[in-house]
Amino acid sequence: MWGDLIGQGHWSGEVWNRGKSGEMFAAILTISAVRDDQGRTRQYVALFSDITLLKANEEKLKRTAHYDALTGLPNRVLLADRLHQGMMQTQRRGQRLTVAFLDLDGFKAVNDQHGHEAGDQLLMTVAGRMKQALREGDTLARLGGDEFVAVLLDLSDIPSCAPILDRLIAASAQPVPYGEQVLQVSTSVGVTFYPQAEEVDADQLLRQADQAMYQAKLAGKNRYCVFDAELDRSVRSHNARLEDIRRALLADEFVLHYQPRVNLRSGAVIGVEALIRWQHPEKGLLLPAAFLPLIENHPLAVDLGEWVIARALAQIAEWRGGGLEMAVSVNIGARQLQQAGFVERLRTLLAGQPEVGPGRLDLELRETRALKDLASVCAIITACRKIGVSFALDDFACGHSSLTYLKSLPVSRINIDRSFVCDLLEGGENRAVLEGVIGLAKAFHRQIVAEGVESIEQGQMLLQLGCESAQGDGIARPMPAADIVAWVAAWQSSPGALRGAALPSVSVPHLPIRA
As a three-state string, the secondary structure of 46-83 is: EEEEECHHHHHHHHHHHHHHHECCCCCCECHHHHHHHH
What pLDDT score was predicted for residue 100? 97
What pLDDT score was predicted for residue 226? 95
CA distance 394 to 366: 5
Asked if residues 504 and 465 have their Cβ atoms less than 8 Å apart, the reply is: no
pLDDT tens-place string over residues 153-181: 988 788 999 999 999 999 999 999 999 99
- Give me the half-sphere count of Cα atoms (radius 13 Å) on the Cβ side of residue 38: 2
CATH number, domain 252-493, options 3.30.365.10, 3.40.50.720, 3.30.1280.10, 3.20.20.450: 3.20.20.450
State the helix-helix crossing angle for 116-132 and 158-173, rounded to 10 degrees.
140
| Number of other CB atoms surrounding residue 243 within 10 Å | 11
Residues 474-481: contacts with CB within 8 Å, 24+ apart? 474/498, 475/260, 475/262, 476/259, 476/260, 477/259, 478/257, 478/258, 478/259, 478/273, 478/275, 479/257, 479/258, 479/259, 480/255, 480/257, 480/258, 481/256, 481/257, 481/258, 481/315, 481/318, 481/319
- Longest Cα–Cα distance of the chain, Å, equals 135
Per-residue CA distances from 66 to 75, 87, 104, 275, 324 (Å): 6, 19, 22, 57, 71
Asked if residues 355 and 322 have their Cβ atoms less than 8 Å apart, the reply is: no
How does DSSP assign 18-52, residue by residue? E-TTS-EEEEEEEEEEEE-TTS-EEEEEEEEEE-H
Domain 2-58 fold is Beta-Lactamase (3.30.450)
Burial class (CB in 10 A: 0-12, 13-18, 19+), 207: middle
Asked if residues 156 and 90 have their Cβ atoms less than 8 Å apart, the reply is: no
Nearest Cα to 91, choosing from 195, 205, 203? 195
pLDDT tens-place string over residues 401-437: 678 888 889 999 999 988 888 878 877 777 888 888 8
Residues with Cβ within 8 Å of 304's Cβ and at least 6 positions away in sequence, in order, are 245, 249, 254, 276, 295
Asked if residues 98 and 137 have their Cβ atoms less than 8 Å apart, the reply is: no
Per-residue pLDDT of the chain (515 residues; tens, 9 = 90+): 666 666 677 788 788 777 777 778 788 888 888 888 777 877 878 887 777 777 776 767 676 789 999 999 999 999 999 999 999 999 888 889 999 999 999 999 999 999 999 999 999 999 999 999 999 999 999 999 999 999 999 887 889 999 999 999 999 999 999 999 999 999 999 999 999 988 999 999 999 999 999 999 999 999 999 998 888 888 889 999 999 999 999 999 999 999 999 999 999 999 999 999 999 999 999 999 999 999 988 999 999 999 999 999 999 999 999 999 999 999 999 889 999 999 999 999 999 999 999 999 999 998 777 788 899 999 999 999 999 999 999 888 655 467 888 888 999 999 998 888 887 887 777 788 888 889 989 999 999 999 999 998 999 999 999 999 999 999 999 999 999 999 999 998 875 545 443 333 333 332 222 22
The reported pTM is: 0.68
Domain 70-227 fold is Alpha-Beta Plaits (3.30.70)
Residues with Cβ within 8 Å of 491's Cβ and at least 6 positions away in sequence, in order, are 260, 262, 267, 269, 476
- Residues written for the chain: 515
What pLDDT score was predicted for residue 138? 95
CA distance 79 to 141: 6
Domain residue spans in the chain? 2-58, 70-227, 252-493
Coil, helix or strand at residue 327: coil
What pLDDT score was predicted for residue 497? 47
What pLDDT score was predicted for residue 504? 35
Considering only CA atoms, give the Rg of the chain. 37
CA distance 384 to 160: 62
Burial class (CB in 10 A: 0-12, 13-18, 19+), 341: exposed
What pLDDT score was predicted for residue 55? 73
DSSP bridge partners of 226: 191
Asked if residues 422 and 452 have their Cβ atoms less than 8 Å apart, the reply is: yes
CA distance 170 to 150: 15
CA distance 451 to 458: 11
What pLDDT score was predicted for residue 31? 83
